[in-house]
Amino acid sequence: MANIKVGIIICDRYHTCAGGKCFRSFQNREGAFESYKDQEAELAAYTTCGGCPGGNIEYAPEEMKKNGVTHIHFATGLLVGYPPCPYMEHFKNFIPEKYGMKVVFGTHPIPQKYYLTHKNLNTWNTDFLQESIQPALADEMTRLKYD
């Protein structure tokens, strides 16, 4: 049995995403999943936020917790979509307070093409966003594999 069970919540604007990059990066322990490289972990849940302002955030973590999820990862799309999700800070505060679960921003490595665009636009210009992108930042070679 895994010590860590991961639930992924994606931005609803990408609700048709099949999760390929997220699942590949989990399998390869890349991006925000690199922190589990020496740990037993499994993916246990996958859903959308429910659309702005994140209506599913009130309920999905409860269901995930019932199924053993310990860590919720918000998909990289919340960070790299334009604009980045404006509700992430609320999610980071709400989920641990209500459900006692760890929240991580990012899943697969930020694709290089998105990294360059956001860097040029100075999108990630707050302390919160600078901190939030770190788990999914990776190095340039890894980011290029996710373009």
Q: What is residue 35's predicted lDDT score, i.e. its pLDDT?
A: 95
User: Which residue reads 């429910």 in tokens?
Assistant: 50
Task: Inform me whether the pLDDT recorded for 42 exceeds 60.
Answer: yes
**Global pTM value:** 0.95
User: Which residue reads 């093409």 in tokens?
Assistant: 113
Please answer whether residues 74 and 136 qualify as being in contact, where contact means their C-beta atoms are separated by less than 8 angstroms.
no
The overall average pLDDT reported for the chain is 96
Helix (H) or strand (E) holding 105: strand 102-105
Q: What is residue 134's predicted lDDT score, i.e. its pLDDT?
A: 97
Q: Are strands 4-10 and 41-48 parallel, antiparallel or unpaired?
A: parallel
Q: What is residue 113's predicted lDDT score, i.e. its pLDDT?
A: 97
- β-partners of residue 8 are 46, 73
Using one digit for the tens of pLDDT, what is the confidence trace for 83-124?
A: 999 999 999 999 999 999 999 999 999 999 999 999 999 999
- CATH code, domain carrying 27: 3.40.50
Q: Are strands 102-105 and 41-48 parallel, antiparallel or unpaired?
A: unpaired
- Structural domains counted in the chain: 1
Distance CA 50, CA 127 (A): 26
DSSP characters over 42-97:
EEEEEEE--STTTGGGGTHHHHHHHTT--EEEE-THHHHSSSPPTTHHHHHHHHHH
Q: Is the dihedral of CA 64, 69, 71, 76 positive or negative?
A: negative
User: Where does the pLDDT of residue 2 fall: very low under 50, low under 70, confident under 90, or very high at 90 and above?
Assistant: low
Q: What residues make up the domain containing 78?
A: 4-145
Task: Inform me whether the pLDDT recorded for 1 exceeds 90.
Answer: no
